[in-house]
Amino acid sequence: MSAIPDSYFDYPLRGKGYDHDRYTARYLRDLPMFEWDGGDTLKLWVCVHLEHFPMDMPASPVKPIGGMDRPYPSVWDFSTRDYGSRVGIYRLFDVLDRYGIRATAAMNSVLATRYPTLMDDILKRDWEVAAAGVDMGHLHHSQLSEDEEAALVGESFDTLRKVSGQGVTGWHSPAHSQSAATPDLVAEAGAKYICDWINDDMPYAFKTRAGTLTQMPLSYDLSDHKIIGLQNMPIGDYEYQLGAAFDVLRDESRTRGGRILSMSLSPWAIAQPGRIGALERLLSRFMNETGVGSATGEDLRAQWVALGLDG
């Protein structure tokens, strides 16, 4: 039996607040009443993940949801995900267009050059393009050197800015995976927000060595990645959970102050023909309620910062 050293009983970071200095303690209950632009109390933030899973992608140290489940060459896995970027996304465009929802497209940058038509169709809708790394075979984690990671961050932002013509101020680390340096590197690349930490339903200020980012709430528990891709739940359980979250956040938004319901969608998961109807029903209900609107991640970030509630 290995001995436990005396240092195991030292708690050098035990004190008020956190054991790191990225953000400070804030209780959601302490946010004041406020409304979003246009008088909405609840904003839907629809974030569509556009992901490319190379057939030769590594399975470690972090295997993303949607990674190759079968031995190489897994045409099954590859083409099932690629389905999202050719069929699923167009089905999703139809549904979101119907409700006038402009989404944030969190894109692997390889898709911008691989499928220029897809990028055109995103820009035609005036969606926001956010950077989500290079592809799903290049996740961000602490086993990369900082130089290697900086190159990936740079490639992602450079490509997406060039192809989209947008400022590209948002960053989503694929699979919600970061190294200790990711927030610093993306801030240095000109990002204004990240959406990788899943500890809040509202934005908060996130410190980096290159200034303060806004950490935007992108729910992982309510993502189709997790519910459908990881937990293998039937679509009815997805619909139930999104509906339940909406009810609680809508009520809170009216009594406690503005809220965001994020919908983290992957065309290869939610936009299968047997699943998209659930999304339609949800959006039909959500968008017909008073005080409910939708906005992109950058819109919400800008509104949030202007409110000056970060203390």
CA distance 160 to 89: 18
Site string for other proteins, 156-175 (x = CB under 8 A): -------------------x
Q: Which C-beta is closer to other proteins: that of 79 or that of 231? A: 231
* 27 in contact with other proteins (CB under 8 A): yes
CA distance 311 to 309: 5
CB of 120 to other proteins, least distance (A): 33
Interface region with other proteins, contact rule CB under 8 A, candidates 48-56, 100-108, 151-159, 236-244: 236-244
Structure tokens at 93: 């465009």
Q: State the greatest distance between any 2 C-alpha atoms of the chain, in Å, as a whole number.
A: 63
Sign of CA dihedral 128, 130, 135, 137: negative
Window 115-154: residues binding other proteins (CB under 8 A)? 141-143
CA distance 34 to 231: 36
Structure tokens at 263: 């919908």
Answer for the pair 164, 199: CB distance below 8 angstroms, yes or no.
no
Site string for other proteins, 43-72 (x = CB under 8 A): ------------------xx----------
Pick the binder of other proteins from 35, 155, 200, 310 (CB under 8 A).
200
Q: Please compute, for residue 109, the number of CA atoms within 13 A of its CA located in the half-sphere on the CB side.
A: 22
Answer for the pair 309, 31: CB distance below 8 angstroms, yes or no.
yes
Interface region with other proteins, contact rule CB under 8 A, candidates 66-74, 116-124, 216-224, 289-297: 216-224
Pick the binder of other proteins from 55, 210, 233, 305 (CB under 8 A).
233
Site residues (vs other proteins, CB under 8 A): 1-4, 7-9, 11, 13-20, 25-29, 61-62, 141-143, 175-180, 196-201, 220-222, 230-233, 237, 240-242, 244-249, 252, 261
